[in-house]
């Protein structure tokens, strides 16, 4: 046995070294998050679930049913059924199949309205017990956007298109709490 190996063994070098690494990690800030109460902040240009935008106060839809997004989608996961003609045209039904969506953003790029009628959000939990759960229809797509506007974290797409501020302006003011009745 070499002399240096003998010295290391005598002073329990490997055990001390291993314990030092363990102790160092004990005092380090943990890298784990308490999901779902805590979440990683998404990147500035993160593309999550798609949401449809509308005026929260009046319910007026921004989508004009032009079908640009349906045509731009490279995997055909958007299905729109339009109603009426000319300026009254709108999307009567709107479906996005999240089993096929690859979050490329082409639908958002092609949307001609201001503000955008279809936007990416920070939401990314794409799960469901059944395949049909991942085909989002119009009301669920509006819910995605509403959840995004109410979300406390960063909302880069809303910020990018000025949607968040506009939607917040349109929100009805919170009703004043009723004054307490004077005691007899
Ligand atoms: S993000 Fe891309 S794949 Fe998904 S719906 Fe839009 S265009 Fe289609
Ligand atoms: S979401 Fe935009 S691109 Fe798609 S149909 Fe509506 S207005 Fe047209």
Residue 106 CB–ligand 1 contact under 6 Å: yes
pLDDT digits (tens, 9 = 90+) for 157-181: 444 445 555 555 545 455 566 655 5
* Ligand approaching nearest to the C-alpha of 80: 2
Distance of CA 113 from the midpoint of ligand 1 (Å): 17
From the centroid of its chain, how far is CA 69? Answer: 19
Of the pLDDT bands very low, low, confident and very high (cuts 50, 70, 90), residue 107 is very high
Give φ, ψ of 93 to 5 degrees.
Answer: -130, 145
Atom of ligand 2 nearest to the CA of 72: 3
- State how far the Cα of 146 lies from the Cα of 133, in Å rounded to an integer: 19
Q: What is the dihedral of CA 65, 95, 169, 152, to 10 degrees?
A: -150
pLDDT at position 7 is: 83
In the chain, what are the domains? 50-170 (3.30.70.3270)
Q: How many helices (H) and strands (E) does the chain have?
A: 7, 5
pTM tops 0.75 = no
Residue 98 CB–ligand 1 contact under 6 Å: no
Residue 99 pLDDT > 70: yes
Span 38-65, average pLDDT: 88
Atom of ligand 1 nearest to the CA of 105: 1
pLDDT digits (tens, 9 = 90+) for 59-94: 889 999 999 999 999 999 999 999 998 888 999 999
| 3-class DSSP assignment, residue 148 | helix
CB-based burial label for 151 (10 Å; 0-12, 13-18, 19+): middle
Of the pLDDT bands very low, low, confident and very high (cuts 50, 70, 90), residue 56 is confident
- State how far the Cα of 34 lies from the Cα of 89, in Å rounded to an integer: 46
Closest CA to 131 of 98, 95, 93: 98
How is residue 9 written in tokens? Answer: 């063994």
Distance of CA 16 from the midpoint of ligand 1 (Å): 55
Lateral strand order in the sheet of 90-97: 78-83, 90-97, 135-136
């Amino acid at each position: 046995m070499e002399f240096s190996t003998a010295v290391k063994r005598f002073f329990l070098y490997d055990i001390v070294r291993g314990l030092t690494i363990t102790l160092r990690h004990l005092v380090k800030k943990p890298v784990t998050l308490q999901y779902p109460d805590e979440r990683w902040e998404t990147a500035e240009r993160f593309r999550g679930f798609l949401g449809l935008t509308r005026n929260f106060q009046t319910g007026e839809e921004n989508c004009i049913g032009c079908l640009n997004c349906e045509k731009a989608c490279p995997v055909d996961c958007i299905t729109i059924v339009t109603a009426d003609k000319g300026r009254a045209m709108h999307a009567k039904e709107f479906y996005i199949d999240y089993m096929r969506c690859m979050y490329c953003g082409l639908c958002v790029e092609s949307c001609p309205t201001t503000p955008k009628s279809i936007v990416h959000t920070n939401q990314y939990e794409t799960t469901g017990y059944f395949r049909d759960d991942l085909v989002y229809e119009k009301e669920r797509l509006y819910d995605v956007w509403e959840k995004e506007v109410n979300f406390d974290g960063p909302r880069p797409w809303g910020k990018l298109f000025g949607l968040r501020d506009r939607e917040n302006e349109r929100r009805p003011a919170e009703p004043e709490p009723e004054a307490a009745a004077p005691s007899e």
